[in-house]
Structure 1
Amino acid sequence: MPITAGLRQEITFLHAQVCQALADPKRILILYALADGPRRVTDLAEILSLPQPAVSHHLKVLRERGLVVANQEGTAIYYALADERVIQALDLLRDVLRARLAQHAELVRQFSEEEEK
C-alpha cells in the first residue's frame, strides 16, 4: 500500500515532534540517565543536579513524545525508556557530531597554517 502525501506529512510531523523533544540538552541527559534503568524523578534530579520541577517538566515532554514511560510501584512512579533504541539513535547522532567536529578541527588547523605564512 503506497504512502499518501497526507500520511507522509503526518509521519514527518511526528518525527519533528520527537526531534523537538531531543532539542533540549537536559532531556538528552535524562534519557542517558534512564539508559541505566528506571528511576524516580527525585533520583534523576539528584543525579543530574537539576531542580525536581524542571525534571518533571522534561519528563512530561518526553512522555508526550513517546520516548519514556511511567510505571507506578506503590506510591513511587518510575520512569524508563520507552524503547532502548533511543540511546542508539542518540549515540549515532553523537558519532555524526564527532565527525563534524573533526572536520572543523581540520579546517581550523589549515586556516592556522595559512595565517602563519
Structure 2
Amino acid sequence: MQVIKNKKVYEMQAEICKVLANAKRIEIIYLLKEGEKHVNELAEAMDISKASVSQHLSLLKEKGVVSSKKEGLNVFYTINNQRFIEACNLMREIMVDQLNELVSSSKEILSVEEE
C-alpha cells in the first residue's frame, strides 16, 4: 500500500467523512442505491420535509457524492460513484462486528456472574 504524504488528501477524506457522518445522508445514499429519485420521493420515503432533504442533498452534491439532472420541474439525484455505497456497507459491517463482539463479551460476563 502506498503511503500518502500529501496532507491535503487526508483533509479531503475528512471532509467526505464529515458529510457521511449524518444518519439522514446515509439514508439518502441507501435510497439512491435503488436508482435515481427526486426530492419528493426521498422526502416521502424518509418521512421528513422536502426542505430538509434538499439541504442534505446540497451537501452531498457539493462533496461529489451525488449528482443531479433536471427534467421539467423535477430534479433527479443519483449516486456519483457506487464506491460510496460500498464504503457505507463496509462501515455497517464493522459496526455489526463490533456489536457482535459486545454481545459475546456481555454473554461471557453474565455467564461468569451466574456461576
Sequence identity (%): 30
Q: Does 1:88 align with 2:86?
A: yes
What is the CA–CA distance in structure 1 between the aligned matches of 2:88 and 2:4, rounded to whole Å?
29
> 1:103–1:83: structure 2 CA closer, same or farther, 3 Å change rule?
same
Indicate the RMSD between aligned Cα atoms, in angstroms.
1.6
What is the CA–CA distance in structure 1 between the aligned matches of 2:4 and 2:94, rounded to whole Å?
31
Residue 103 of structure 1 and its aligned partner are, at CA, apart by 0.6
Residue 62 (structure 2) aligns with: 64
- Where in structure 1 do 4 or more consecutive aligned residues deviate above 2 Å? 2-5
Q: Does 1:43 align with 2:41?
A: yes
> 1:104–1:36: structure 2 CA closer, same or farther, 3 Å change rule?
same
**Counterpart amino acid of 2:36?**
P
Q: Per-residue CA shift, 1:5-62, capped at 9, x if unaligned? A: 4xx2111011001101111101000000001111111110001111111101110111
Q: For 2:107, which of 102, 106, 109 is the aligned residue?
A: 109
What is the CA–CA distance in structure 1 between the aligned matches of 2:25 and 2:95, rounded to whole Å?
18
Written as runs of structure 1 = structure 2, the 5 A alignment for 1:18-57 is 18-57=16-55
Residue 3 of structure 1 and its aligned partner are, at CA, apart by 8.1
TM-score by length of 1: 0.90
> 1:18–1:96: structure 2 CA closer, same or farther, 3 Å change rule?
same
Helix, strand or coil at the partner of 1:60: helix
TM-score by length of 2: 0.92
**Counterpart amino acid of 2:47?**
S
Count of matched residue positions in the alignment of Structure 1 and Structure 2: 114
Structure 2 portions without partners, runs of 5+ = none
**Counterpart amino acid of 1:30?**
I
